[in-house]
Amino acid sequence: MTITHAPNITHAATSTCTTNDTHTTTIPAYDGTPIGPRRRVRGARLDDRFNVLGAAAAGIAVAVLLFGWITPLSGGVGWALVAYLAFLGFYALLVSFTSDAQEVKDRVMAVLLSSAGVVLFGALVFVVAFTLIRGQEALPHLNFFIQSMELAGPLDGLDLGGIVHAILGTLMQISMALAVTIPLGITTALFLNEVGGRFARFVRTISDAMTALPSIVAGLFVYSAIIVLITHQRSGFAAAMAITVMMLPIVIRASDIVIRLVAGNLREAAYALGSTRWATIWYVVLPTARPGLATAVILGTARGIGETSPVLLTSGVTAVTNLNPFAGPMISLPLQVFDFVKSPEPTMIARGFGTAAILILLVLTLFALARLIGGTGPGQLSRRRRLRVDAASERDLQRMSVRGDLGPGITGTNSMLRPTSSPTDLTTKETSS
């Protein structure tokens, strides 16, 4: 490493000794200093890349050879497995030409780790893409989105019938579930963090335990507690209750973590300004945790929308649009998928894939939304919000200086302390400075 910034003090000292007595600090000229080429400490060398490429070619060749001649293997999965194993062997061999055993191990493990990642994400992309591609058959038909299956029989073509009843059912069920989950979940999370005590620890233990509840058991509970004992019929309301039982622990847990992450000095600053506990929560804790809370709720929603098994027992299957959540069966998207693909008819299976594609797109949208909102941590602001906060503090400064000019009698503690805009300014100034 070359030192380009020579310490100014020593430079000035030497210059005072040799030349005249001016006590000035001079910056050394950069012009004469040679700057060497920047060394890259990361990244693969050329022979590393050729090792990978060569081993891959050899592996594929061996697999082709084996499948053509020797073993009775067939099928793409087997071929890929053999090619991969051969690739690993050849790669280890190639690396061992130039390196010792430790480095061979290191390289082979790096390849193994990377391939675990590739397999996982390949599978994920493939699962999603498979559904979307198979769903293409049904998606171009407009009636798929605006009709229900009321008039469409199993033998009808794709230009008749649709899933609007399932879309509406999903929306109604998840809204009802959210109407219970959001207030209850966030208030419970606040109780765990801001009130505390022995009972709060008990609540936390119980809600942690409930994250272990298998979703089908939640459905069975609602089925036998609400449907069998009280309503005697499956309904959207019962399905929403089953989804609530599933989502509540997830939302509580995620919000609990997010609220716990709110920096303690923000709370202390609020208390030091004399605010009450509730004012601290309303004006400091909740605004700071807002992106995280939104993420928690949205991710919980994505999970809740995709749940099939609790709905399977509670909502009932229907082909007609039902907007009354308290009477009659009300189907939802995942259950509709499940119901479609049970049929052997190709058109029904195509409808099933189309429904699944819509479900996936819905979940992806929710997920992207969660990333968009929750991508920034507490205290990190987007450019626009920072500009707004800066403008607010500029106004504060002006106001304070104007009042300060009027004389000491007016600048009491009250006018100094009273914030003009929302107290997020308090929090953001604190973290951004």
Which residues, numbered 21-80, are part of the site for other proteins (CB under 8 A)?
Answer: 42, 73-78
Residue type at 238 in one-letter notation:
A
Residue 195 as a binder of other proteins (CB under 8 A): the answer is yes
For the CB of residue 70, give the shortest distance to other proteins in the complex, in Å.
Answer: 13
Nearest one of 287, 224, 214 to 249, comparing CA atoms: 214
For the CB of residue 412, give the shortest distance to other proteins in the complex, in Å.
Answer: 13
Q: Are 400 and 364 in contact (CB under 8 A)?
A: no
Of 305 and 330, which CB lies nearer to other proteins in the complex structure? 305
Query: How many amino acids of this chain bind other proteins (CB under 8 A)?
Result: 107
Residue 366 as a binder of other proteins (CB under 8 A): the answer is yes
For the CB of residue 394, give the shortest distance to other proteins in the complex, in Å.
Answer: 21
379: left (phi over 0), alpha (psi -120 to 50) or beta: left
Distance, in Å, from the CA atom of 359 to the CA atom of 171, rounded to the nearest integer, reads: 11
Residue 410 as a binder of other proteins (CB under 8 A): the answer is no
For the CB of residue 29, give the shortest distance to other proteins in the complex, in Å.
Answer: 35
Of 12 and 273, which CB lies nearer to other proteins in the complex structure? 273
Distance, in Å, from the CA atom of 240 to the CA atom of 310, rounded to the nearest integer, reads: 9
Q: Binder to other proteins among 14, 65, 121, 372 (CB under 8 A)?
A: 121
**Would you give the distance in Å from CA 41 to the centre of its chain?**
32
Q: Which stretch binds other proteins (CB under 8 A): 33-41, 61-69, 128-136, 402-410?
A: 128-136
For the CB of residue 46, give the shortest distance to other proteins in the complex, in Å.
Answer: 20
Element (H, E) at 5: none
Residue 213 as a binder of other proteins (CB under 8 A): the answer is yes
Residue 164 as a binder of other proteins (CB under 8 A): the answer is no
Binding mask of the shown chain, residues 175 to 194, with x at each position contacting other proteins by CB under 8 A: --------xxx-xx-xxx-x
Q: Binder to other proteins among 92, 171, 216, 263 (CB under 8 A)?
A: 216
Q: Are 249 and 179 in contact (CB under 8 A)?
A: no
Residue 11 as a binder of other proteins (CB under 8 A): the answer is no
Q: Exposed, middle or buried by CB within 10 Å (0-12, 13-18, 19+), for 190?
A: middle
Q: Are 144 and 350 in contact (CB under 8 A)?
A: no
For the CB of residue 51, give the shortest distance to other proteins in the complex, in Å.
Answer: 16
Q: Binder to other proteins among 6, 127, 261, 387 (CB under 8 A)?
A: 127
3-state helix, strand, coil in the chain (%, to 5): 70, 0, 30
Residue 84 as a binder of other proteins (CB under 8 A): the answer is no
Distance, in Å, from the CA atom of 157 to the CA atom of 346, rounded to the nearest integer, reads: 10
Binding mask of the shown chain, residues 301 to 340, with x at each position contacting other proteins by CB under 8 A: -xx-xxxxx--xx--------------------x--xx--
For 164-189, give one letter per residue: b (16+ CB within 10 A) or e.
bbbbbbbebbbebbbebbbeebbebb
Residue 359 as a binder of other proteins (CB under 8 A): the answer is yes
Element (H, E) at 118: helix 101-135
Residue 212 as a binder of other proteins (CB under 8 A): the answer is yes
